[in-house]
Structure 1
Amino acid sequence: MSIFAMLRRRYLDVLGSIYIYNEHRGYTAIDRVLEAVRARSPEDTALIAAIEQHRVDERKHYVMFRRWFELQGRMPLSVDRTFGHIDRFVEIMFRKKIDDLDTQAVIDDDSQFEKLCRVISLTEQRGYKQVEILLDHFMVKSDPVLMKIFRIIKKDEPSHWAPYDGWLQEHGKREPKWWERRVDTFIHSELLFLKLPFLFLNPFIGRRKDWADAGEMETGTVPLAA
């Protein structure tokens, strides 16, 4: 195997590992959001349905990346919340980890729910922009299956921030301020220029022993063949 082929394989391995972590974190975190919305506004069936579809899409994306790894006969690299965009955003904005977020407080306090909507919206919009870049990346282009995955994500992504932006507008809440957008940019830059290179260059990062969704109810497989 040539040096270029090894670098390409490592880059895509790192990229896939970061994405599969974020997709799993995405749909499991949405479960918390759904819990809050159903308790706050059980009559708002349109919002609940839109967030449920967001959850379905994130799960679908996770399954596609899992299948991509399975086709190569290897597990993802063992990455954690250090490489999660939404993890970092929540920690900065709420000063606590996603798993420690007080769902009841989000249910009871409009300002907390409003903040969460802005965080999710900015995260999803950032994801869309990044996918556009990756679809034009020469290493990603060399993998037709990965290209298909990112095309599907690009198609799905705009509907993911829409329900949160819609709730903010309908309830007269403000749009993200410049400093919130700066936080989003900082998190993305930190991942792109610091954490990703560290993962790429670190030969001691092991691989997961099991899938992140082990024990969860299976919802079927997503075919990746063209």
Structure 2
Amino acid sequence: MKKEKNYARRYAKDFNILTFLYQRYSIYCLFVPIASIFYNIKLTGCENLEKKQYLYAANHISYFDPFLVALAVRGAKIAFMAKKELYESSYLAKNISRLGAFAVNREKLEVSTIKSAKEAFKAGWGLCIFPEGGIRKGKKIEAVNKGFVVLAKMANVDILPISIDGLETYNWRLFKRVEVNVKIGKSIPHTLETEDIIKNWREQVAEMSCYELCADTEPEKAQATQLP
């Protein structure tokens, strides 16, 4: 009997040159040509990118956000977290995995997530997380899951905030493209207190995207899981 693949557990060897090339191919040969029909994508803040590993933390407004983040970081090797529900389809599971992603439980930070994230950093890759825990509509920055801070502190990497705005709308008429803005903010030191990191991230993303900054009153879902 064939053993079922565990898409939540990845190793350093999985984050290799073939994964990187497939990711780049998907972005520049598939996503960009198609997206350019409907959107005018503008990247700003690239001067804030340094040649080091980051935990990239972006707001989440569509399923195409990972492609925009990968496009914005300009050739940096980047792994992604994807909700485990996407892996229920074997076709999606294989292709998402080939892009350098691994499955996560959005309700809590699990040991497999921590270990896979550490393996990505061990391989010299960065990691992209969407702290809101899912796609959000309404141009608001609300409560976020603190798991991204836990991972940044465990890996000793700074957090780079990224804002995405405009991808939630589209115009079917050719030559009437919707403007999409992807902005890279100032890096946030992982040595700050958790509450200060979350506050800094929310404020930067809200300002860059011109979104409403709502009170962070939702109970925190992610708990810091201890490695055995």
Flag whether TM exceeds 0.5 (same fold). no
Q: Which protein is bigger by CA-based radius of gyration?
A: 1
Q: State the TM-score, normalized to the length of structure 2.
A: 0.28
Q: State the TM-score, normalized to the length of structure 1.
A: 0.28
| Larger proportion of strand | 2
